A and B are shown apart, each in its own frame.
Chain A
Amino acid sequence: MVNMIILAVVFVIGAFIFQVTLSGFSRKVVARIQKRRGPTVFQNFYDIGKLLFKESSISHGFIFDFGIWMALGSTIATLLFMPVGGWALMPKYANIIVIIYLLAVGSLGMAMSAVGSGNPLASIGVSRALTQMFAYELPFVVIAVLIIYLAKSSNILKIIEYQTQNGWNLFSMPIGALVAYISLMGMLGKKPFDTPIAPAEIASGPLVEYSGKYLGFLMIQHEFATFIEVGLFVHLFMGSTSIIGFLIKYIIVYISAVMISSVMARLKIDEVVKFYWRWPLGLAILQAIITLGVRF
């Protein structure tokens, strides 16, 4: 038991340091694409540190405070179910359904907290964020269910095992991988789908009233959520049992998402929903028909 707690703490801190360094590196990549020098790789550590060291941070009541703890706590809890390579803290419970459900609790906590601030821009941002979640989850879940059907298990470790025997899902179902990748861009809030936090339009949306420590906690929550979402994609489509291999694939997937993001323009929220329910959903169903047709 004590061993497991120590492992959990090491895992959470390791994931934090890895992801924050990587997002610092991704700022550097974006800067190079725009022909700039860009900040140091450790810039995100400075940003989070500065926010946590602010002398004051305004609160807008109990729901506002509680929602932040709910978001951060549930995201860290989700992280503990997440396998890395072939290793998982709780191998029995490394389940894709658990992860998708628990991740939604984080978004709901943030939504509750942002609405609790009473700022109209925050309400607009939250309604956009939840609408977008509604849009990208449907195609993603179709593909996830297809993979669960093929692997005969919703346990991610079993899915990885299935891929070591039958080859990566990325190659056996390329259309599905494309759909999941587009859904991943929506989950991460990368550029064509960064409608919920449009800084020039609704003043960073749900984050509009946060300051100091609260904003710092939400940044940490965002880093953990990124780790879970990108990790889920890597496990479902590029599964392998080594941790180093996982991290390399993770870096490739994340940096490519950042690169695509840096040359895109923002869609409106109705365009986002129409897009997701027309193209990725259609392609997901096509992939399901093809895969099942080949098998029977």
Chain B
Amino acid sequence: MSMSTVSLMEKIKNIIRGHSLWMLHYCTGCGAMELPPTMTARFDMERLGFAPMATPRQADILLVTGYLSVKTLRRLIYTYEQMQDPKWVVGFGSCTINGGIYYDSYATIKRLDLYLPVDLYIAGCMPRPEAVINGFKKLMDMIKSGEANGWKKYKENLEWYRANQRKILGDSLYVTR
């Protein structure tokens, strides 16, 4: 979506969305360690409008902190699909980019954006709270200018994502619990 085609109403909506972002942190990896200082008094994420949320229904951002094993990937996909549009995914740490120190592991996935549409990566092993806040600020700017539209990409290219998910998970993705 280019800026010229965006209507005025859409711009206002994007600005409001950019000021209030509730995130669900999916803390499987060690990167979750950096989140408490980001949330509490020292770095104070809330001053930008970020708040942690307890359920995927209420959340806008899915924060994937660190590596994902094949088993947790299935849960992550369920969680992502329970979230309501518009929603964004942030990959946190180098594990979500290329596998990080688990590059040759048999049990983890190496690139998150094959399976879910990642809007922003925060690189580092692990990224410090300063880097996390910087990444969030960048995400806010992207949302305000309407660039962050991974959730639309996921809808448009659902077959491609499903094929990738099926390649690694087999049919277990659709097994009812």
A residues sitting closer than 8 Å to B (CB atoms) are: 27, 31, 34-40, 43, 46-47, 49-50, 53-58, 199-200, 203-204, 207-212, 215
Contacts and interface: CB of A to CB of B under 8 A. Distances in A.
B54 A50 contact: no
A282 B23 CA distance: 44
Nearest to A207: B58
Which 9 A/B pairs are nearest by Cβ-Cβ distance?
Answer: A55-B85, A211-B57, A46-B20, A203-B54, A46-B19, A36-B44, A50-B20, A211-B84, A49-B16
B47 interface: yes
Contacts of A56: 84-85
B86 A54 contact: yes
Given A38-B44, A55-B84, A43 B58 contact: no
A47 B20 contact: yes
Contact of A37 (B17, B19, B44): B44
A294 to B, nearest CB: 49
Nearest to A202: B54
Given A31-B44, A34-B41, 16 more contacts: A36-B44, A37-B47, A38-B44, A38-B46, A38-B47, A39-B46, A49-B16, A50-B16, A50-B60, A53-B13, A53-B17, A54-B85, A54-B86, A204-B53, A204-B58, A211-B57
A46 B16 CA distance: 6
Nearest to A53: B13
Interface in B72-102: 83-86
Given A50-B20, A54-B85, A36 B41 contact: yes
B33 to A, nearest CB: 18
Contacts of B84: 54-58, 211-212
A91 B121 CA distance: 59
Interface in B123-148: none
Interface of B: 13, 16-17, 19-20, 40-41, 44, 46-49, 53-55, 57-58, 60, 83-86
B92 to A, nearest CB: 21
What is the predominant secondary structure among interface residues of chain B facing chain A?
Answer: loop
A264 B46 CA distance: 20
15 contacts: A38-B47, A39-B46, A39-B48, A43-B19, A43-B49, A46-B20, A49-B16, A50-B19, A53-B17, A54-B84, A56-B85, A204-B58, A208-B54, A208-B55, A211-B58
Contacts of A37: 44, 47
Nearest to A36: B44
Contacts of A46: 16, 19-20, 49
Contact of B17 (A34, A50, A209, A215): A50
Contacts of A208: 54-55, 57
Nearest to B21: A50
Contacts of B54: 199-200, 203-204, 208
Contacts of B86: 54-55
B41 A39 contact: no
A203 B55 contact: yes
Contacts of B55: 203-204, 207-209
Contact of B49 (A39, A58, A212): A39
B131 to A, nearest CB: 19
Nearest to B9: A53
Given A36-B46, A55-B85, A49 B41 contact: no
A204 B53 CA distance: 9
B133 to A, nearest CB: 12
Contacts of A199: 53-54
A210 B58 contact: yes
Contacts of B47: 31, 36-39
